[in-house]
Amino acid sequence: MTWILGLNAFHGDSSACLVHDGRLVAAAEEERFRRIKHWAGFPSEAIAWCLRDADITLADVEHVALNQDSTANLGRKLAYTLTKRPDLGFVMDRIRNKRERAGVAEHLARAFPGESFRGKVHGIEHHLCHLSSAFHVSPFDEAVVVSVDGFGDFASAAWGVGRGTTIEVEDKVYFPHSLGIFYQAMTQYLGFPHYGDEYKVMGLAPYGQPTRMDDMRRIVLLQPDGSFRLDLRYFRHATEKVEYEWEGGSPTVGTLYTDALVDLLGPPRAKDEPLTQAHKDLARSVQAMYEEAFFHLLDALHARHRLDALCIAGGCGMNSVANGKVTLRSPFRQVYVQSAAGDAGGAIGAAYAVWHEQGGARGPVMDHAYLGPAADGAEIARLLEARAAEIAAAGCTVERIDDEAELCRRTASAIAEGQVVGWFQGRMEWGPRALGNRSIVCDPRRADMKDILNLKIKRRESFRPFAPSILREAVPDWFELDGDVPFMMQVYPIRAERRAEIPAVTHVDGSGRLQTVYRHTNPRYYRLIEAFRDLTGVPMVLNTSFNENEPVVCKPEEALDCFLRTRMDVLVLGDQMIARLGSSS
């Protein structure tokens, strides 16, 4: 009976998970409890929830696995410091960071006074955690494994081959070269300054043309072995102190690009400046350059290893547009990306790396992401009773519907009538995507639904697309590619003849970031989409995260708060349907 606590700590998207005898039993990001997006620091709330969920204490945990190893790539670090002579602030920042990260046992003692941790702390190299997080929960016994991100343990990318329980890391790209830093710097340049804003550039890219590729190829230099380098004249991080804040709140990153980039590309866009066609063209060029470098690496790896399966992880593994093109633009025929491909997912990679180091066998395939907190019917009933007066004052009715078929039929009818429905069910999703348990669901057939959602709830940029959740067996009828995409991590082209039927989830380039829904992993969500199909003939719903400029809701009271302060029409909390007067279902 081995309990392993996996942690991503002291970095953005802090998280915790529990692996029990090789089985992932609980996982959650700290932001969901702190209510601060991408929360960075020590994930004490996520740890506490994992332990409560498993009904254990720290004394039961034999191993703590940390997504970081301060001794990794030490020779490279020393050589860089001696030869490049970065400024003193740059060096001291990294010394302080490593010292802070070293004391996991002390952090546990402070966060859990009175509890004793008698196990062992393991620091696992950052990219090995990424590779493990993808391969060790994948359906493949043998696969090429690739991790690409900003930086972790002095490297920005790593690749190799996974076989059984082992991963052989073949090579890495080391600091200061990084595709993640390239994309992040260009995201800042385009006027999106917040940590994690790269998805906005990805969403903007289809509105432009790749007119700046000559400039992009001056910045990112592809190498004959499949790797890449940066022209460091355009980046500050290699020799200057870039302002980073990773502790106790939302991560912040200072400006990464230099004046040389401004000389090359022209003035950067201010945060609130209108988006011009030139900005859209630059976004498309940034995405195209990332894909060019990514597929350059994949082609080299396939030629070297001749394996058909690929596992992708790292922050750049969140680039669902590139992921969706793997089987089109590379020789790989199968691809797996788990639901928390970024740094949060390093927690499960660290835990599995330790499990397999101890001789553990492969665990189950991760075919769903429902690993977080849940609320039972009694908890929901108590909440609604306590806030009955507030709900009534907001002009809402509450009805309990015990028959699941009827609940799904009523909800599907509301969706088909154009209503915006909050859908809170079961265990919260692991990773950044809402996958049918903490979702807002709408009618994909309505061309105006994107505007309705942005007006009523989301209040986000108009160019950002919404995604379809589709019954798995219906994928070939609606998309030009067929495949399993349970975590919304791949974008596929929608069949040309179908696009007019589902305009709310069809991006400007005719694509959609789909989620394939399965009866065996989420029977209630599957049944809801079936009910919508029976009413409309369309086997999918529009699915977006249940939040309003905040982390995805975790608890039922957060879902109710979001419902009451926005103009959402219906909220389905477990078996309870809360509807605004005038909203029929």
The one catalytic residue in 11, 302, 368, 507 is 11
Say if CB 347 and CB 339 are below 8 A apart.
no
Longest dimension (CA), the chain: 70
Quick one: tokens of 507? 């991006």
Burial class from Cβ neighbours inside 10 Å (0-12, 13-18, 19+) for residue 463 reads middle
> What is the DSSP-derived secondary structure letter of residue 340?
T
Q: Is residue 535 within a helix (H) or strand (E), and if so which, with residue range? A: helix 523-536
CA separation for the pair 14, 452 (Å, rounded): 33
Q: Does residue 107 have an active-site annotation?
A: no
Sheet of 438-442: strands edge to edge? 396-400, 576-580, 570-573, 421-424, 438-442, 540-545, 467-471, 515-517
Q: Which long-range contacts (CB under 8 A, 24 or more apart) does 457-460 make?
A: 457/420, 457/548, 457/562, 457/566, 457/567, 457/568, 458/544, 458/548, 458/549, 459/548, 459/549, 460/549
Measured CA distances, 205 to 201, 283, 292, 389, 563 (Å): 6, 5, 15, 47, 32
Quick one: tokens of 398? 């509450």
CA separation for the pair 62, 267 (Å, rounded): 54
Omega of the bond leading into 432 within 30 degrees of 0 (cis): no
CA separation for the pair 230, 341 (Å, rounded): 23
Which residue, among 31, 29, 22, has the nearest Cα to 8 in the 3D structure?
A: 29
CA separation for the pair 514, 494 (Å, rounded): 10
Q: What number of residues does the chain have?
A: 585
Active centre residues (catalytic):
11
